[in-house]
């Protein structure tokens, strides 16, 4: 009687462990799919792939410009902000190009190097942009990215999704997938050993 209870409990534990492993594999596959349709296209679409050194030539704040907070925004969501323009010299090619914060900045407003988020307090936006401009003037040389193919004749300060960020995004689903497969394999080995022992 006790042996039957132990066998039943063992089968229940194996079933739960098997469900856990398969669930982990399924969740990791969903995470792979989500990363594949969100982060990977932005990473592959970016042409600013080569890192070089940028030397600041000038950093000027122009008159206020208007920029919508998001695509398809209403007119009342369009907010003005000072336009910071930063021109740099690429060490790799010697070209004088305009610097943008990220790839997204160029799409939002190609006239400005920095596009702030929508803010109710225009003084904070102005102070932030002035601080950024003073930092560029203070730190004359810094790493940046440019397009080696020449499709984009400008540079960006940082990539939205760098190679390290992409690898880190794939790390957790990979660990979950490996753990789930390991649990399934261990359960199958346990079932095989139990069946072999019972047969003997």
Together in a domain, 120 and 173: no
pTM: 0.69
What's phi and psi for 107, nearest 5 deg?
A: -70, -35
* Chain segment 96-133, per-residue pLDDT in tens: 999 999 988 888 888 899 988 776 577 888 888 889 99
Q: Are 105 and 119 in contact (CB under 8 A)?
A: no
**pLDDT of 31 strictly over 60:** yes
Together in a domain, 61 and 114: yes
Together in a domain, 120 and 106: yes
> How much is the pLDDT for 157?
93
> From CA 85, how far away is CA 80, in angstroms rounded?
15
Its domain, for residue 55, covers: 50-161
Count: domains in the chain: 2
**pLDDT of 74 strictly over 50:** no
* Chain segment 57-68, per-residue pLDDT in tens: 999 888 766 655
Residue 195 lies in a domain: yes
CA dihedral 123, 129, 131, 137 (to 10 degrees): -150
Together in a domain, 63 and 104: yes
Q: Are 109 and 71 in contact (CB under 8 A)?
A: no
The number of angstroms, rounded, from the C-alpha of 75 to the middle of its chain's C-alpha atoms is 30
Q: Both tokens of residue 127? A: 């102070």
């Amino acid at each position: 009687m006790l042996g039957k209870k132990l066998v039943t409990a063992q089968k229940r534990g194996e079933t739960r462990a098997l469900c856990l492993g398969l669930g982990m594999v399924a969740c990791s596959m969903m995470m792979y799919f989500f990363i594949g349709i969100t982060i990977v296209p932005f990473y592959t679409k970016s042409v600013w792939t080569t890192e070089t050194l940028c030397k600041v030539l000038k950093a000027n704040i122009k008159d206020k410009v208007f920029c919508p907070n998001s695509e398809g925004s209403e007119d009342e969501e369009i907010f003005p902000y000072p336009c910071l323009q930063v021109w740099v010299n690429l060490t790799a090619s010697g070209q004088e190009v305009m610097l943008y914060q990220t790839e997204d900045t160029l799409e939002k407003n190609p006239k400005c190097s920095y596009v702030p988020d929508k803010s109710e307090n225009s003084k904070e936006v102005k102070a932030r942009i002035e601080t950024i401009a003073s930092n560029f003037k203070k730190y004359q040389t810094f790493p940046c990215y440019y397009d080696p193919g020449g499709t984009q004749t400008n540079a960006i300060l940082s990539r939205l999704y760098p190679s390290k960020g992409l690898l880190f995004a794939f790390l957790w689903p990979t660990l979950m997938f490996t753990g789930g497969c390991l649990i399934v394999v261990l359960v199958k080995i346990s079932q095989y050993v139990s069946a072999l022992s019972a047969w003997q």
